[in-house]
């Protein structure tokens, strides 16, 4: 299976909407499309999309929060990583995560931070990350310092 991970473009909207619906927790299609179109144009957002078997099978999203008020160091917040169930455990999530990490480092992040839901925390542990003390009960918090 060949997997291609590339930066999302406006024309990826229908494919991304399919993935967002499968992931769940999405509000309104029109509002989500408006946000997506703004994010793909913004240098503060990065959304890689994974394609396999001629279809979108996963995506991720990170946001550059800009310089911290007190330290001036840049924090990037990793919001989403989703892979269709039938494509999990094939390295696609790790590829998407690697793209997020590379983009954050290349774009001046001092930290890449995220909360993992309990079901996905083991994925990040397999990648070698250890959660820092929990910020939100039951949602392990992870951080990479660059």
CA distances (Å), 109 to each of 63, 66, 70, 99, 143, in order? 10, 8, 15, 14, 11
Query: Count of domains in the chain?
Result: 1
Answer yes or no: is pLDDT of 131 > 90. Answer: no
**Interhelix angle 13-23/29-41, nearest 10 degrees:** 120
* Secondary structure of residue 56 in the 3-state scheme: strand
pLDDT band at residue 132 using 50, 70 and 90 as cut-offs: confident
How many CA atoms lie within 13 Å of 126's alpha carbon, on the beta-carbon side?
10
Mean pLDDT rounded to a whole number for the chain: 92
- The range of the structural domain enclosing residue 119 comes to 3-145
Scanning the structure block, which residue is given the tokens 């509002």?
A: 31
Q: What CATH number did the domain enclosing 16 receive? A: 3.40.630.30
- The DSSP output letter for 140 is E
């Amino acid at each position: 299976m060949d997997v291609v991970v590339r930066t999302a473009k406006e024309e990826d909207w229908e494919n991304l909407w399919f993935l967002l619906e499968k992931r769940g927790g999405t509000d309104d299609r029109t509002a989500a499309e408006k946000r997506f179109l703004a994010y793909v144009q913004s240098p503060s957002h990065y959304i890689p999309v994974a394609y396999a078997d001629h279809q979108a099978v996963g995506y991720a999203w990170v946001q550059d929060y800009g310089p911290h008020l007190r330290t001036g160091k840049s924090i990037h917040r990793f919001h989403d990583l989703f892979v269709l169930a039938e494509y999990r455990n094939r390295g696609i999530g790790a590829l998407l995560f690697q793209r997020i990490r590379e983009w954050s480092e290349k774009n001046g992040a001092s930290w890449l931070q995220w909360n993992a839901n309990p079901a996905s925390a083991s994925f990040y542990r397999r990648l070698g990350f250890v959660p820092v003390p929990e910020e939100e009960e039951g949602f392990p918090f992870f951080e990479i310092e660059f």
